Amino acid sequence: MKQLSSKHWWALAIGLTASLMWAPSGSAQNVIGAEQEVAEREFPEFMPPDELRRLIKDGSRDILIVDNAPALIWEEAHIPGAVSFPWVRQITETVKLPRNRTLILYCPCTEDQDSIDMAKKLRELGYFKIKVLEGGWFKWEKLGYEIVSAADEQRRK
């Protein structure tokens, strides 16, 4: 049996917590209008992992990869070039992400919940160039694409 890494354990805990927090209340759907519901379903746009991998290889300066996992998990393993911007219930600090680049958000969630939620919060703050990595961390890892630690990136500089 394969042993789970700490990133997998954290992801499992985060996923379970998110599932409990976002369980439908029954009356919430009645409050949201049909037009708003359609708009919410269409946002955010998703980016396939192979497209992000190509952009990384091409050295694209038009994107910024944003890891929504807790900072300690980001330090252990993340997509090359990703910055740490952990999911929070409410953004209370000044956001220091660029508005002139497309933000590619990803998380260690089974359904991209944290990244979708952060994309919505950032949009409310005026960030409109946002995409979510389709399948997030787990799909990236399953495809065998490059993963680095914060220490790896420091050594490369």
Q: Please tell us whether the domain made up of 44-156 is placed in CATH 3.40.250.10.
A: yes
Q: What's the pLDDT at 157? A: 75
* pLDDT on residue 107: 97
Per-residue confidence (pLDDT) for residue 6, from 0 to 100? 57
Domain range annotation of the chain: 44-156
pLDDT value at residue 1:
44
Q: pLDDT at position 5, please? A: 62
SS (H, E, C) the chain: CCCCCHHHHHHHHHHHHHHHHCCCCCCHHHHCCHHHHHHHHHCCEEECHHHHHHHHHCCCCCEEEEECCCHHHHHHCECCCCEECCCCCCCCCCCCCCCCCEEEEECCCCCCHHHHHHHHHHHHCCCCCEEEECCHHHHHHHCCCCCECHHHHHHHC
Q: What is the pLDDT of residue 20?
A: 44
Q: What is the pLDDT along the chain (157 residues), one digit of tens a residue?
A: 445 565 654 554 555 444 444 444 444 444 445 444 544 567 899 999 999 999 999 999 999 999 999 999 999 999 999 999 999 999 988 899 999 999 999 999 989 999 999 999 999 999 999 999 999 999 999 999 999 999 998 888 7
